[in-house]
Amino acid sequence: KIAFSSLPDGTRNHFPWTNNMATIRQTPSLHLGMRDLVFGDHVVAFVESADEQVNLVARFLSAGINKGGKAVFIIGQELSPAIGNKLKLLGHPVDVLRTRGQIRAFDPGETYLTGGFFSAERTIRKLAALIKQTADEGWSHLCLVGDASWALRPIPGVEELASYEAE
């Protein structure tokens, strides 16, 4: 799997544990940087706007789809359609990809925040099951994007985010 988390720009001080992770910004060299990623990498991107986030996430997922993998994004419902539209602009038949299970979107409430709180252990179990399912379905790899902007709100369990990201 390649995991990719996105956080609003200017929030790095809220998440000091990200200092040890690869960070990327929306730059002309970003596409080249994505080609340098290997399976198992974890990238954190700080974005300045929803448009920047949509472009970055869609390009990341597009690269994974182009290499025959499954693409999953955990992001608020307000951005999910925009990512689908951007993937269409990048040449992907989103409806076909959804039908065959190559692309899937989850809301943070279905994953990170089940029951209204964050649990690192529960989230890791859910993602491990997703990775296994991806392999069982025959996909070569999983590109996973998780939007962590929910962690800026006073969510019970948010203090476990650093241990989760370290896994």
Tens of pLDDT, residue by residue over 70-104, are 999 998 877 788 999 999 999 999 999 999 999 99
pTM for the complete prediction?
Answer: 0.76
Half-sphere exposure of residue 53: CA atoms within 13 angstroms, side-chain side = 26
Helix (H) or strand (E) holding 130: helix 120-136
Mean local confidence (pLDDT), 47-66: 87
Q: Mean of the per-residue pLDDT values for the chain? A: 79
pLDDT tens readout for residues 18-39: 444 444 443 333 443 455 666 6
Give the whole-angstrom CA distance, residue 74 versus residue 34.
Answer: 19
Q: Which residue has the higher pLDDT, 34 or 123?
A: 123
User: Cα 129–64–53 angle (5° rounding)?
Assistant: 95
Sign of the CA dihedral running 40, 118, 97, 35: negative
pLDDT at res. 99: 95
The predicted structure's pLDDT at residue 166: 75
pLDDT at 132 over 80: yes
CB count, 10 Å around CB of 122? 17
Specify whether the CB–CB gap between 59 and 35 falls below 8 A.
Answer: no
Q: What is the pLDDT of residue 85?
A: 94
